[in-house]
Chains A and B, each alone.
Chain A
Amino acid sequence: MAESRKAAIEVSGLNLWYGDFQALEDVNLSIKHGQVTALIGPSGCGKSTLLRAINRINERLGYVRTTGSIEVHGQDVLAEEVELTQLRKEVGMVFQRPNPLPLSVRDNVLYAYRLHRGGRSSRREEDEVVEGALTQVLLWDQIRERLDHPAIDLSLEEQQKLCIARLLPVKPSVLLMDEPCSALDPEATEAVEDLIWQLRGEYSILIVTHNMAQARRASDESVFMLMGKVVEHALTGQMFVTPKNKETADYIEGRYG
Chain B
Amino acid sequence: MSSFRATELDRRNQRRERWVRGLFLVMTLMLILPVLIILGTLAWRGHSVISLDFLLSFPTNGMTEGGIFPALVGTLWLVGVALVVSVPMGVAAAIYLSEYAPENLLTRSINLAIINLAGVPSIVHALFGVGAFVLFFNFGTSILAAGLTLAVMTLPVVIVSTRESLQAVPQAFREASWSLGATRWQTIRRIVLPNSVSGILTGVILEVSRTVGETAPIMFTGAAFFLPFLPLGVGDQTMALSLHLFTVSTQVPNVPEALPFGVALTLISLVLILNAVSIAFRMYLRGKKKW
B44 at the interface (CB under 8 A from A): no
Do A85 and B179 touch across chains, with their CB atoms under 8 A apart? Answer: no
Do A102 and B181 touch across chains, with their CB atoms under 8 A apart? Answer: no
Do B180 and A95 touch across chains, with their CB atoms under 8 A apart? Answer: no
Do B175 and A57 touch across chains, with their CB atoms under 8 A apart? Answer: yes
A15 at the interface (CB under 8 A from B): no
Known A99-B175, A150-B291; contact A116-B181, beta-carbon cutoff 8 A = yes
Do B177 and A102 touch across chains, with their CB atoms under 8 A apart? Answer: no
Interface residues of B, count at CB 8 A: 20
B290 at the interface (CB under 8 A from A): yes
Stretch at the interface among A3-11, A86-94, A128-136: A86-94
A197 at the interface (CB under 8 A from B): no
How far is the CB of B32 from the nearest CB of chain A, in Å?
37
Chain A residues within an 8 Å CB radius of B96: none
Known A152-B290, A152-B291; contact A55-B179, beta-carbon cutoff 8 A = yes
Chain B residues within an 8 Å CB radius of A88: 178-181
CA distance A95 to B290 in the complex (A): 20
Q: Which A99-130 residues have a C-beta within 8 angstroms of B?
A: 99-104, 111-112, 115-116
B198 at the interface (CB under 8 A from A): no
Contact with A along B189-206 (1 / 0, CB 8 A): 011001100000000000
B13 at the interface (CB under 8 A from A): no
B186 at the interface (CB under 8 A from A): yes
Chain A residues within an 8 Å CB radius of B186: 115
Interface residues of A, count at CB 8 A: 31
Do A99 and B291 touch across chains, with their CB atoms under 8 A apart? Answer: no
B14 at the interface (CB under 8 A from A): no
Question: Out of A60, A84, A95, A115, which one reaches B172, CB within 8 Å?
Answer: A95
A38 at the interface (CB under 8 A from B): no
Do A86 and B181 touch across chains, with their CB atoms under 8 A apart? Answer: yes
Question: Out of A104, A115, A152, which one reaches B181, CB within 8 Å?
Answer: A115
Do A102 and B180 touch across chains, with their CB atoms under 8 A apart? Answer: no
CA distance A167 to B182 in the complex (A): 12
B256 at the interface (CB under 8 A from A): no
CA distance A210 to B290 in the complex (A): 31
Chain A residues within an 8 Å CB radius of B194: 102
Q: Which A123-175 residues have a C-beta within 8 angstroms of B?
A: 150-152, 163, 166-167, 170
A62 at the interface (CB under 8 A from B): yes
Known A85-B183, A95-B172, A115-B186; contact A102-B178, beta-carbon cutoff 8 A = no
Contact with B along A73-98 (1 / 0, CB 8 A): 00000000000111111001101010
Known A57-B175, A95-B172, A115-B186; contact A166-B290, beta-carbon cutoff 8 A = no
CA distance A150 to B289 in the complex (A): 9
How far is the CB of B251 from the nearest CB of chain A, in Å?
54
Chain B residues within an 8 Å CB radius of A86: 181
How far is the CB of A92 from the nearest CB of chain B, in Å?
8
Known A99-B175, A102-B291, A150-B290; contact A112-B180, beta-carbon cutoff 8 A = yes
Chain B residues within an 8 Å CB radius of A89: 181
Chain B residues within an 8 Å CB radius of A100: 176
CA distance A57 to B190 in the complex (A): 19
CA distance A84 to B183 in the complex (A): 9
Chain B residues within an 8 Å CB radius of A87: 181
Chain B residues within an 8 Å CB radius of A167: 180
Chain A residues within an 8 Å CB radius of B182: 85, 111-112, 115
Do A112 and B173 touch across chains, with their CB atoms under 8 A apart? Answer: no
B102 at the interface (CB under 8 A from A): yes
Contact with B along A45-74 (1 / 0, CB 8 A): 000000000010100101000000000000
Which of B177, B194, B290 counts the most A-chain CB atoms under 10 A from its CB? B290
Do B179 and A97 touch across chains, with their CB atoms under 8 A apart? Answer: no
Q: Please give 20 more A-B residue pairs, beta carbons under 8 A apart, in addition to A92-B180, A99-B172, A101-B173.
A: A55-B179, A57-B179, A60-B178, A85-B181, A85-B182, A86-B181, A88-B180, A95-B175, A95-B179, A97-B172, A99-B175, A102-B173, A102-B194, A102-B290, A103-B191, A111-B182, A112-B182, A115-B180, A115-B182, A152-B290
> Can you offer 11 A-B residue contacts whose CB atoms are under 8 A?
A60-B178, A87-B181, A92-B180, A93-B179, A99-B176, A102-B289, A102-B291, A115-B181, A152-B290, A152-B291, A170-B181
Q: Which residues of A contact B (CB under 8 A)?
A: 55, 57, 60, 62, 84-89, 92-93, 95, 97, 99-104, 111-112, 115-116, 150-152, 163, 166-167, 170
Kindly list the 3 A-B residue pairs having the minimum CB-CB distance in the complex, ordered from nearest: A150-B290, A88-B181, A112-B180
